[in-house]
């Protein structure tokens, strides 16, 4: 019976596509609604007809959704299947690689439709693909986000619109930190896979001098601590020295033998990549500086930002040769 139902739906999509392509110009939507309702039952409003047609055009082959997702290990379990609302959001993603990535990620991480919409609007795929070559992009599209090394975790910029804060001159780092803690679930979603919260304002003492790490997380996929320092304003070389101190301390005093070296991330409103490059040791892979935005930029603005970051990355690669 299930096979028959699927075949019936597939036939319906074929008929629907033919009707739209051939007959729609001279066939009012109301009569199309009547014809399909009499044959298949309720649910064929004009809006739904458009979504159904888009579904067929996006996934034209029988069982294509299931087969494509299984290749990415996304929908093997019944409980992780995408809902119709998920697919309606996916229709809006024009890039097939990006759409494939979101299909896999939403199934693996069980994103709600609201979370999926937020990740699409914040151009998550484009931000993750920023520093990847063609092979890396293909893996991202076919397998989703794979966390194998520290820079697989990093995004630039991070989008923190969920805090509800406005970008203003008098914003304090403690206010930003408090907002991230108040919206910890959303912040972990933005950070990515495998993160668990450990501590806030973690104190370390060195010969009587006290220091406080803003936020400490643990990533179970990389088996390491992730130390986050928040900066309101432009990044300085002193900030980089400070996060380096924190990372060195955790590496020598906190890390267990079966754990990997800790990672340090500075989140700032602005940075000079040359300052980062010349402050940190050559080949440093444990300290990262990323910008953050307290609002969800328009797609045009985000694309422009990503282009600037990509140009800087390419320039750094040339200088490293």
Could you tell me the residue ranges of all domains in the chain? 2-128, 148-320
For 148-320, CATH gives 3.40.1350.10
Taking the C-alpha atoms of residue 293 and residue 305, their distance in angstroms, rounded to an integer, is 11
Encoding tokens for residue 19? 């009707």
The CA R_g of the chain, rounded to the nearest whole Å, is 24
pTM of structure: 0.77
Nearest-10 crossing angle of helices 2-18, 29-40: 160
Q: What is the pLDDT of residue 24?
A: 47
DSSP codes joined into one string, 119-144: HHHTTHHHHHTTT--HHHHHHHHHH-
Q: What is the mean pLDDT of each run of 10 residues along the chain (321 residues)?
A: 45 52 51 74 76 78 49 44 86 90 90 92 88 79 87 90 88 94 95 95 94 96 96 91 95 95 94 85 86 88 81 68 60
Contact predicate 271/156, CB 8 Å: no
Contact predicate 164/179, CB 8 Å: yes
Taking the C-alpha atoms of residue 181 and residue 229, their distance in angstroms, rounded to an integer, is 14
Q: What is the pLDDT of residue 72?
A: 46
Q: What is the pLDDT of residue 318?
A: 65
First to last CA, the chain: 62
């Amino acid at each position: 019976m299930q096979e028959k139902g699927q075949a019936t739906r597939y036939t319906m999509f074929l008929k629907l596509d033919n009707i739209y392509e051939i007959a729609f110009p001279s066939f009012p939507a109301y009569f199309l609604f009547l014809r399909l309702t009499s044959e298949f039952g309720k649910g064929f409003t004009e809006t739904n007809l458009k979504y159904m047609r888009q579904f067929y055009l996006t996934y034209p082959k029988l069982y294509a959704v299931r087969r494509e997702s299984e290749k990415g290990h996304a929908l093997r379990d019944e409980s992780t299947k995408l809902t119709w609302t998920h697919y309606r959001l996916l229709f809006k993603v024009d890039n097939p690689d990006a759409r494939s990535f979101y299909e896999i990620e939403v199934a693996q991480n069980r994103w709600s439709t609201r979370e999926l919409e937020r990740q699409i609007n914040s151009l998550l795929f484009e931000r993750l693909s920023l520093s990847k070559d063609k092979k890396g992009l293909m893996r991202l599209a076919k397998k989703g986000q794979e966390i194998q090394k520290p820079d697989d975790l990093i995004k630039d910029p991070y989008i923190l619109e969920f805090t509800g804060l406005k970008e203003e001159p008098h914003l304090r780092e403690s206010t930003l930190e408090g907002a991230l803690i108040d919206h910890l679930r959303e912040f972990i979603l933005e950070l990515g896979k495998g993160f668990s919260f450990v501590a806030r304002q973690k104190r370390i003492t060195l010969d009587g001098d006290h220091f406080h790490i803003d936020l400490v997380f643990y990533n179970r996929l990389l088996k390491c601590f992730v130390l986050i320092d928040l900066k309101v304003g432009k990044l300085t070389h002193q900030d980089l020295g400070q996060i380096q101190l924190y990372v060195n301390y955790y590496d020598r005093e906190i890390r267990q033998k079966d754990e990997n070296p800790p990672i340090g991330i500075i989140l700032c409103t602005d940075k000079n990549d040359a300052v980062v490059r010349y402050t940190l040791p050559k080949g440093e892979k444990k300290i990262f500086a990323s910008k953050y935005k307290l609002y969800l930029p328009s797609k045009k603005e985000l694309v422009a930002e990503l282009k600037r970051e990509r140009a800087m990355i390419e320039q750094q690669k040339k200088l490293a040769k």
